[in-house]
Amino acid sequence: MPTNAPEPTSPPASGHLSSPAAHEELCVLVIDEELPRWLASNATAVLGVALGAHGLIQAGPELPDTDGHYHPGIGTTPLPVLASPREELPALRLKAINSNITVLDFNDAARNSRSYDEYEQKLLTESIGYLGLALFGARKAVKSVSGNLKSLR
């Protein structure tokens, strides 16, 4: 199905979608391994949107398919989704922060809030239960923190 985006006047440039600097950085998602599938999907979606909104993952150019239809760009950075026991997520988060890794989190307060104002209030008044983390930083540091985790299944 065609997108609402106008057809470009010339095809996008070919070649690699990611810059050389992208190979020096790594981004992974770490999700509570016991979450039901629907909530794990929600957590990965929320974290993916946040990564893009904070400019950590860039979208590539729109690309043509074999029929000449163009598809809007998607993230140019591979995004492995890893699993961790929920009780280990707070320590993983602190270890990542202490390793100068950018950490975005999705937590119970966010999941159970109907507005950002409500989320802010819950962060100030309730303990945090993490559902997932996005880790973005130097490849070596991210691998050091997350290298022992398995893919979410």
d(CA 136, CA 153): 21
Q: Which residues are CB-neighbours of 113 under 8 A, at least 6 positions away?
A: 119, 122
Would you state the pLDDT for residue 21? 52
Q: Which of 144, 116, 121, 145 is nearest to 133 (CA)?
A: 145
CATH number (3.10.310.40, 1.10.3720.10, 1.10.287.470, 3.40.1490.10) of 20-56+75-148 reads 3.40.1490.10
Would you state the pLDDT for residue 65? 96
Asked whether 91 and 84 are in contact (CB, 8 A), the reply is: no
Would you state the pLDDT for residue 34? 97
Would you state the pLDDT for residue 23? 67
**Mean pLDDT in each 10-residue stretch from start to end of the chain (153 residues)?**
41 40 84 97 96 94 96 93 97 97 97 96 95 97 96 95
The full set of domain ranges for the chain reads: 20-56+75-148
d(CA 141, CA 145): 6
